[in-house]
């Protein structure tokens, strides 16, 4: 690796597949340029930008607490395409976007002490839609995914390869943008969780609990976790009651539910 200049924030840019692409990066306060740290890729929703997701989620602060690096890729033309026949992606290929994720990981791990085999991804809305596909792409570059307020097309099952990531799905009952029941071309979130459970060869019966334990009114979360999986880790579904199509943080709801903390607690105890 080249010498580190001591900065914990960085910008990356490159020409990839004929397009100028960029991303924002953050290194945790514990970073020392010697011990490799895990990496979280965070994908924004349609119509958003990388910096907006960074501000909305507060993931930099959570990365400082948990000791992981985080990168926010910037979508080309406003959204992340998915690999599917007949999708209108403005001529872009979802497989190409997955390859760009591989390039981001390669660039980052060559420049900073980031572990290329300990990479996870989260995404909000369309960004979460995309990471469902990246999670089970052939030779997926990520060990785990956490889609928030996002689903998958009804033909998603036919896309999945042998990759078996750990999976945390977070979705609100009151989400009107990405309805939890699914739609004409999208599966329900319950069916998506079941698909990941079967794909991961997980136990049929989940452990279930509600949080936060001291909740007074909404939002509250019902969690179901299927263990015993053959893949990288468990499959979990967190259903939020009392929120819409948004990313909850500890400062914007009375029960201090913070999705970034939930995701960090789920992934990084598993990291090498």
Tokens for 9?
């924030």
Least confident of 75-79, 102-106, 163-167, 253-257: 75-79
Q: Give the residue among 124, 115, 84 at the shortest CA–CA distance from 259.
A: 124
Handedness of CA 19, 24, 27, 32 (dihedral sign): positive
Q: Give the residue among 93, 83, 56 at the shortest CA–CA distance from 72.
A: 56
Whether the predicted pLDDT of 272 surpasses 60: no
Tokens for 30?
């514990």
Query: pLDDT per residue over 187-216, tens digit each?
Result: 999 999 999 999 999 999 999 999 999 998
DSSP E strands, the chain: 9-16, 19-26, 37-43, 69-73, 114-124, 144-148, 166-172, 207-211, 220-226, 235-241
Residue range 133-143: mean pLDDT, rounded: 93
Confidence of residue 135 (pLDDT cuts 50, 70, 90): very high
The residue extents of the domains of the chain are 9-270
Residue range 75-88: mean pLDDT, rounded: 79
| DSSP-assigned states of every residue in 126-182 | HHHHHHHHHHTSTT-S-SEEEEES---BTTGGGT--S---EEEEEEETT-SSS-TT-
Q: What is the rounded average pLDDT for all residues in the chain?
A: 93
Tokens for 248?
């909850």
The fold for domain 9-270 equals: Rossmann fold (3.40.50)
- Quick one: what percent of the chain has pLDDT higher than 70? 96
Tokens for 112?
């900073």
Burial 36-66 (b: 16+ CB within 10 A, else e): bbbbbbbbbbeebebeebbebbbbbbbbbeb
Q: What is the pLDDT of residue 232?
A: 81
Residue range 66-94: mean pLDDT, rounded: 81
Q: What is the pLDDT of residue 66?
A: 95
Q: What is the pLDDT of residue 94?
A: 82
Whether the predicted pLDDT of 96 surpasses 50: yes
Q: What is the pLDDT of residue 69?
A: 98
Angle, helices 59-66 vs 50-57, to 10°: value is 60
First CA to last CA distance, the chain = 20
Whether the predicted pLDDT of 26 surpasses 60: yes
Q: Whole-angstrom Cα distance, residue 70 to residue 84?
A: 28
The DSSP secondary-structure symbol of 186 reads B
Residue range 22-50: mean pLDDT, rounded: 96
Confidence of residue 88 (pLDDT cuts 50, 70, 90): low
């Amino acid at each position: 690796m080249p010498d580190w200049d001591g900065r914990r924030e960085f910008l990356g840019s490159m020409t990839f597949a004929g397009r100028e692409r960029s991303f924002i990066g953050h290194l945790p306060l514990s970073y020392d340029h010697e011990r490799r740290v895990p990496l979280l890729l965070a994908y924004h929703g349609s119509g958003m930008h990388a910096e907006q997701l960074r501000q909305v989620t507060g993931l930099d602060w959570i990365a400082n607490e948990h000791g992981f690096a985080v990168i926010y890729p910037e979508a080309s033309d406003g959204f992340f395409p998915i690999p599917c026949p007949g999708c209108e992606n403005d001529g872009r290929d979802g497989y190409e976007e997955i390859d760009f994720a591989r390039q981001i990981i390669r660039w980052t791990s060559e420049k900073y002490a980031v572990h290329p085999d300990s990479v996870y991804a989260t995404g909000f809305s369309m960004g979460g839609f995309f990471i469902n596909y990246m999670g089970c792409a052939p030779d997926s570059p990520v060990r785990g995914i956490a889609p928030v307020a996002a689903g998958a097309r009804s033909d998603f099952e036919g896309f999945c390869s042998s990759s078996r990531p750990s999976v945390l799905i977070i979705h609100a009952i009151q989400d009107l943008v990405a309805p939890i029941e699914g739609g004409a071309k999208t599966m329900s979130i319950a069916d998506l969780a079941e698909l990941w459970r079967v794909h991961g060869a997980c136990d049929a019966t989940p452990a279930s609990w509600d949080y936060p334990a001291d909740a007074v009114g909404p939002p509250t979360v019902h969690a179901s976790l299927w263990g015993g999986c053959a893949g990288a880790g468990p499959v979990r579904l967190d259903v939020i009651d009392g929120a819409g199509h948004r990313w909850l943080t500890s400062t914007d709801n009375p029960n201090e539910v913070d999705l970034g903390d939930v995701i960090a607690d789920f992934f990084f105890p598993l990291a090498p």
